[in-house]
Structure 1
Amino acid sequence: MTLKDELFQGIEAVLFDLDGTLVDSMWMWEDIDREYLGRFGIELPGDLQDLIQGMSFSETAVYFKERFLIPHSLEDIKAEWNRMAWDKYSNEVPLKEGVLPFLKKLKEKGILMGIATSNSKELVELVITKLGVRDYFDSIRTSCEVAKGKPSPDIYLLVAEDLGAKSANCLVFEDIIQGIQAGKNAGMKVCSVYDRNSEEDDDKKKELSDYYIHTYLELIEDE
């Protein structure tokens, strides 16, 4: 099997978002938000998921605390979210279709790989270790480590710096509009990935990105 040459021409590093891009996990966060707010007698607002997309874990905690007047500290809010998500990431979250053979092929080609995620460091490390792909990545960064979350380019620029790659030689994989914008704002090529939780945005995702795939198997050709 070979990689599709036209997509990887001049690419030295491939940068991935995590949730909805590498792993199938976006479905669970709305449930967690609903349960968490329910503890304070607050019904999940219909606009919440759209408003927090792209925010870092820390930015989201600030947003919840200020919008919903949550009485707990920011650290306690984040710790509780980690606790609520831990079992799901341990037992219910799989890799998206074609991820493993795609990572193997990138490694064979000597292409560096990194993760740039809005999730917490604890959950990232948990799920990629559990799914056996931790060793493929030379940099793993979260948006809590930069000034602004997506669509700011900060997180992608940081991972590229870690990998020693110029923006023009980086390819980003993303599943949400804010993430696609972050990659483009960093001056990188972007391939958007289908995810059922954002399929209503598919037309916009295709418009904003350089490429679009339903699964990573589309990027691997039989020799």
Structure 2
Amino acid sequence: MKKAIIFDFDGLIIDTESAWHYAFETHLKENFQYDMKMEDFLTCIGSTNDHFMQRLNEDINLGDGKEELLRTVNAAAKDRSENLPLMAGIYDLLEYAKANDIVCVIGTSSNREHIERHLDRLNIRQYFDHYVTSDIVENIKPNPDIYNKAAELIGLPKEDIVIFEDSLNGLIAGNRAGIDVVIVANMVTKHIDFPETYLDLVHSMEDYSYQDLFSKE
């Protein structure tokens, strides 16, 4: 029986990943006549954009324009994300966790300012006991540091914890940390061919019978 949840944030709680995808795709098409490949973009989901930017530089030779491109895309994605609602089923899960004394922690490769801005905007900060962000670990996903730190803060055996994730980098991080992972694939990460190292794979929290995870056997 699980007693705690570690939530990824981007693409799991709100769909910022679609906003990032649109911002990159549109900018590259309009300014470089470049058709971005989904498989390249997926490498940065849940982690850094290093591999993705390296591939872009190989294809279109960004040169000194890399930082300007990132500033422009970051601003466009942030603007597009400012009114995003919670992903389907997330609010009900948070209410269920609160009613059943299930510990909830966020474990994300994003920074604290990013998640707190959205938590406050959506009025859900009170549901989470801790946040583990890129600001407080040495290595982000797919390294297990974020999930190991989250488990440490929870203070329960790892077998009592479940991670909800949407990305391959997050799945790898959870596997390396030795914690069960449920993949909730979104409109972007549904294109990933996930290895079957997850506990479950679903396409919406709304359609997932997560109550079974927290029921006594």
Match of 2:45 in 1: 53
Mapped to 2, the partners of 1:192 and 1:180 lie a distance apart of 7
For the structure 1 residues 70 and 130, does the alpha-carbon distance in structure 2 shift closer, same or farther, using more than 3 Å as the test? farther
Taking the TM superposition and a 5 Å limit, the aligned residue runs for 1:6-17 are 9=1, 11-17=2-8
Query: Any idea what the Cα deviations from partners look like across 1:40-79, whole Å, max 9, x if unmatched?
Result: 8584642531332332xxx436974894444677xx9877
2:197 pairs with one of 205, 208, 212: 208
Query: Any idea what the Cα deviations from partners look like across 1:148-174, whole Å, max 9, x if unmatched?
Result: 222211111112222223322210001
Identity among equivalent positions (%) equals 26
1:195 pairs with one of 169, 186, 200: 186
Mapped to 2, the partners of 1:78 and 1:146 lie a distance apart of 23
Residue 137 in structure 1 maps to residue 125 in structure 2: no
**Pairwise CA distance, 1:190:** 1.0
The CA RMSD measured in Å over matched residues stands at 2.9
Query: Any idea what the Cα deviations from partners look like across 1:130-162, whole Å, max 9, x if unmatched?
Result: 112111111112234322222211111112222
Which moves more between the two structures, 165-174 or 28-37? 28-37
**Pairwise CA distance, 1:104:** 0.8
Match of 2:214 in 1: none
Q: What are the ranges of 5 or more consecutive residues in structure 1 without an aligned counterpart? A: 1-8
Taking the TM superposition and a 5 Å limit, the aligned residue runs for 1:22-101 are 22-34=13-25, 41=32, 43=34, 45-46=36-37, 47-55=39-47, 59-60=48-49, 64=53, 67=57, 68-70=62-64, 83-91=75-83, 93-101=84-92
The one-letter code of the counterpart of 1:50 is L
Which moves more between the two structures, 210-219 or 130-139? 210-219
Decide whether the 8 Å contact of 1:173 with 1:190 is kept in 2.
yes
Residue 175 in structure 1 maps to residue 144 in structure 2: no
Mapped to 2, the partners of 1:189 and 1:45 lie a distance apart of 33
For the structure 1 residues 125 and 184, does the alpha-carbon distance in structure 2 shift closer, same or farther, using more than 3 Å as the test? same
**Pairwise CA distance, 1:126:** 1.5
| Aligned residues between the structures | 204
Match of 2:153 in 1: 162
Match of 1:5 in 2: none
Give the alignment's TM-score, normalised by structure 2.
0.78
Decide whether the 8 Å contact of 2:17 with 2:45 is kept in 1.
no
